């Protein structure tokens, strides 16, 4: 008996693969690609689920392009800035919150900023549109004042709108 004959029991994969039909080979390759694609989808959903949940819940982040902080004549902070809708659909702006933090990183002040274009208050931004916000009305935690604020944070959120103007759900 010759030693170079493959009896099918030696475990050599070349012999096993060559004995498969073209249809079987194609099926195995397609099934492997589907499994890899499914696993990639699942891992991508797990890693990106918080962003997906925000859109599903109809809440979307409005981009804060810039802001400026200065003191008015009374010594209170005025925060002015610009936001932009980066989505491809219109957005109803829920709010722009300006938050003040102390040196320990504790939230000690919050102000709600109206959004406007020119001198008109607005609550809807079209795709790519920009608008301005400004806040001077602050609510401070007890025992804190404007002099205790060391840095600011801004959160701008809204609801995406359907082409008919209804909230996405």
Quick one: tokens of 123?
């609550």
pLDDT value of position 44: 58
Calculate mean pLDDT across residues 69-73. 86
Cβ-contact 91, 85 below 8 angstroms: yes
Among 16-30, 47-61, 123-137, the range scoring the smallest mean pLDDT is: 47-61
| Tens digit of each residue's pLDDT (9 = 90 or more) over 87-110 | 888 999 877 889 999 999 999 999
DSSP 164: T
Question: Residue 19: helix, strand or coil by DSSP?
Answer: coil
| Tens digit of each residue's pLDDT (9 = 90 or more) over 121-151 | 898 999 999 999 998 788 889 999 888 999 8
pTM: 0.61
């Amino acid at each position: 008996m010759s030693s170079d004959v493959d009896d099918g029991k030696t475990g050599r994969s070349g012999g096993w693969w060559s004995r498969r039909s073209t249809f079987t080979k194609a099926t195995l390759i397609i099934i492997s690609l589907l499994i890899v694609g499914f696993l990639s989808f699942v891992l991508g959903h797990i890693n990106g689920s918080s962003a997906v949940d925000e859109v599903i819940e109809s809440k979307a982040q409005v981009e804060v392009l810039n802001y400026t902080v200065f003191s008015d004549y009374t010594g209170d902070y005025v925060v002015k800035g610009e936001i932009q809708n980066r989505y491809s659909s219109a957005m109803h702006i829920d709010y722009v919150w300006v938050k003040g933090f102390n040196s320990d990183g504790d939230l000690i002040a919050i102000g709600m900023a109206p959004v406007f274009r020119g001198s008109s208050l607005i609550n809807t931004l079209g795709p790519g549109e920009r608008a301005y916000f400004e806040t001077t009305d602050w609510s401070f935690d007890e025992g804190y004042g404007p002099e205790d604020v060391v840095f600011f944070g801004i959160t701008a959120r809204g609801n995406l709108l359907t082409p008919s103007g209804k909230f996405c759900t």
